[in-house]
């Protein structure tokens, strides 16, 4: 199919820095929306994909799945968008649209596998998808979100991954007024979980391993902060929480958090994919009907719901804006958790000479 070239930032190999390159975007099909990307958030998955940490990266790789921009063109069958509209794209750009998951607005659990915004396989071009570290993106309108116009646009970008990843489990496990919610970890995901759970009128606790985050956590929506390395503090919240959103992206012992679940409560892993070690002990789970679960981003309708909710509640991510050319330094800082709480690339910088 016909295509055109756009500027992007990507990498040719796991060990290589990201650098400017040209990539192809398909011509807009009748159902496509073409978006000029204004801002793109920087997610840990971007870095893992660029460096092939999970295996399976196809090179060249162009990361970026927290995309906001302005519509520049629409296909003739597009009904939701017109040129000039604000628009956003998250982690998915396509799915089968026919399976039971897709029909139930759960495209993230598409039984035939959704198409990732990057490192997926574009059904139209047959090659890998390229993410938001680029000038433009062309996406089926079903996977394009409307952006509330009252929000600070760069701060919206991280809602598309960090926001929906924490919103979906809060909604699925029915968090609302009076719910007791805890959040493990205060990074990109964790700070969004605090904001969203607070806005849902839950009583919100942050678990942190280190003191010194209390003030920031409370500004972000936490009612309480528990230092998880302090036994007395952990004892004080034993059996308390209805839902725990565990955002920690590396292996860690979840048993101490299970102990803080109320009976019938659920701990939801959203950051760590791997073996649970130390081993999970089932005894407190049986004795208190507790669950350990996982959750993956959210469906398109749910993502729109989250964006609309953020518009109503004036919620955006706390961000640090960077230039595209600073992405390699940003990755290094991200590995040291040296960001409060999300880098967002000002894509106008891509127009500068690299």
Q: Which residues bind a second copy (CB under 8 A)?
A: 101, 106, 109, 111, 172, 239, 263-264, 266, 269-270, 272-277, 279-296
CA 180 to chain centre: 23
Give residue 25's region: left, alpha or beta (phi > 0; psi -120 to 50).
beta
Cβ 152 to a second copy shortest distance, Å: 30
Cβ 108 to a second copy shortest distance, Å: 8
Cβ 318 to a second copy shortest distance, Å: 25
Q: Which of 5, 266, 29 is nearest to 257 (CA)?
A: 266
- What's the CA gap between 225 and 234, in Å, rounded? 11
Beta carbon nearer to a second copy, 282 or 354: 282
Cβ 46 to a second copy shortest distance, Å: 18
Beta carbon nearer to a second copy, 222 or 243: 243
- What's the CA gap between 4 and 332, in Å, rounded? 32
- What's the CA gap between 343 and 354, in Å, rounded? 19
Beta carbon nearer to a second copy, 272 or 331: 272
Beta carbon nearer to a second copy, 206 or 248: 248
Cβ 109 to a second copy shortest distance, Å: 4
The DSSP element (H or E) to which 302 belongs, if any, is helix 300-313
Tell me the HSE value of 185 on the side-chain side, using a 13 A CA sphere: 24
- What's the CA gap between 189 and 290, in Å, rounded? 23
Beta carbon nearer to a second copy, 128 or 165: 165
Beta carbon nearer to a second copy, 268 or 315: 268
- What's the CA gap between 209 and 258, in Å, rounded? 16
Beta carbon nearer to a second copy, 191 or 252: 252
Cβ 36 to a second copy shortest distance, Å: 32
- What's the CA gap between 346 and 26, in Å, rounded? 23
Q: Which two tokens stand for residue 274?
A: 């791997």
Cβ 273 to a second copy shortest distance, Å: 4
- What's the CA gap between 91 and 74, in Å, rounded? 20
- What's the CA gap between 149 and 86, in Å, rounded? 8
């Amino acid at each position: 199919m016909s295509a055109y070239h756009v500027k992007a930032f990507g990498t040719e190999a796991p060990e290589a820095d990201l650098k400017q390159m040209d990539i192809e975007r398909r011509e807009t099909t009748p159902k496509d929306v073409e978006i000029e990307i204004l801002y793109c958030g920087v997610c840990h998955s971007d870095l893992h994909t660029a460096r092939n940490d999970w295996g399976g990266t196809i090179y060249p790789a162009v990361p970026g799945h927290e995309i906001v921009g302005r519509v520049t063109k629409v296909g003739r069958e597009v009904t939701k968008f017109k040129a000039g509209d604000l628009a956003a794209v998250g982690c998915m750009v396509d799915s089968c649209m026919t399976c039971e998951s897709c029909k139930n607005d759960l495209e993230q659990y598409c039984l035939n596998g959704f198409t990732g915004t990057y490192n997926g396989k574009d059904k139209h071009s047959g090659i890998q998808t390229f993410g938001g570290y680029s000038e433009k993106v062309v996406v089926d309108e079903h996977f394009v979100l409307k952006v509330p116009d009252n929000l600070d646009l760069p701060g919206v970008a991280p809602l598309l991954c960090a926001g929906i990843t924490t919103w979906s489990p809060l909604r699925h496990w029915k968090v609302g007024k009076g719910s007791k919610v805890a959040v493990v970890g205060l990074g990109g995901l964790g700070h969004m979980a605090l904001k969203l759970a607070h806005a849902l009128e839950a009583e919100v606790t942050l678990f942190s391993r280190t003191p010194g985050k209390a003030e920031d956590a409370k500004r972000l929506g936490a009612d309480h902060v528990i230092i998880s390395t302090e036994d007395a503090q952990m004892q004080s919240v034993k059996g308390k929480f209805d839902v725990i959103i565990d955002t920690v992206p590396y292996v860690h012992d979840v048993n101490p958090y299970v102990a803080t679940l109320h009976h019938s409560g659920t701990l939801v892993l959203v950051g760590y994919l791997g073996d649970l070690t130390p081993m999970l002990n089932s005894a407190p789970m049986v004795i208190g009907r507790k669950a350990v679960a996982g959750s993956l981003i959210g469906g398109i309708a749910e993502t729109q719901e989250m964006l609309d909710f953020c518009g109503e509640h004036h919620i955006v991510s706390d961000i640090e804006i960077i230039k595209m050319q600073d992405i390699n330094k940003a990755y290094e800082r991200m590995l040291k958790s040296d960001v409060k709480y999300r880098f967002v690339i000002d894509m106008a910088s891509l127009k500068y000479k690299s």
